[in-house]
Amino acid sequence: MHYASRFTPVASLRPEIKIELNARPPVLPTVSRPIRSMLDALLQAPTPGEPMSCISVQETLAEKILSFLRRTAQALAERNRAEYDDRLIRHVYDVHAIAHGCPGLVETLPHAHFATLTHADAAQYRNQYPEFADDPLGQMRLALAALQDDTAGFAHDYRQFADELVFGPPVAFADARAAFVALAQPLLSAAHKTQQSDPG
């Protein structure tokens, strides 16, 4: 969806809003949140915001971890249909931001539901990424190892993303990566246990 900016164009910002539609029910109860513009928030405008039903922060975090790992693993397996989106690194930053803003989140992670989300992705992308359909956890572990070893230039992508698109205090790549790994590992372990207890 294209839009006309009221401000001087910035090369790093896309001239359109990309809307992704996902036709699946939430795995956790939704929550009502007031939606307002970032400009209103920055100016502290007395705008109450429109209430909207949203997926929970726990499910959002799990989705971000799953999306980054699956799409990165798909690129590592050379199964991606287009060039790797280097802006996927935003999920690493976002996971750190969520973890920093929600103390105690580790205790409320949707461990029991991560396998459900993973199986849904495996079924949805079976044709274009059969390796993920056959072994989603193994593929995601490869992507997580690549992130930890930085074999794919993630640090460069992160710095470019943070310099151009992040408004707020800077977060070092090492810190964001550490937070992502610390939250991703227990989700993958829980999904593995679920897979062992229900191999069918």
Q: How far apart are CA 192 and CA 152, in angstroms?
A: 26
Q: How far is CA 153 from CA 40, 77, 95, in A?
A: 36, 16, 19
The pair of three-digit structure tokens given for residue 108, joined into one six-digit string: 């409320």
pLDDT, average across residues 114-140:
93
CB 92 within 8 A of CB 151: no
The band of 198, judged by pLDDT with boundaries at 50, 70 and 90, is low
The pair of three-digit structure tokens given for residue 157, joined into one six-digit string: 């992508």
Say what the pTM is: 0.87
The pair of three-digit structure tokens given for residue 155, joined into one six-digit string: 């640090």
Best CA proximity match to 105, nearest among 144, 62, 145: 62
CB 64 within 8 A of CB 119: no
CB 171 within 8 A of CB 180: no
Between 76 and 151, the more confident residue is 76
Q: How far apart are CA 80 and CA 156, in angstroms?
A: 21
77 three-class SS: coil
Give 52-107 pLDDT, tens digit per residue. Answer: 999 999 999 999 999 999 999 999 999 988 888 889 999 999 999 999 998 887 77
Between 156 and 81, the more confident residue is 156
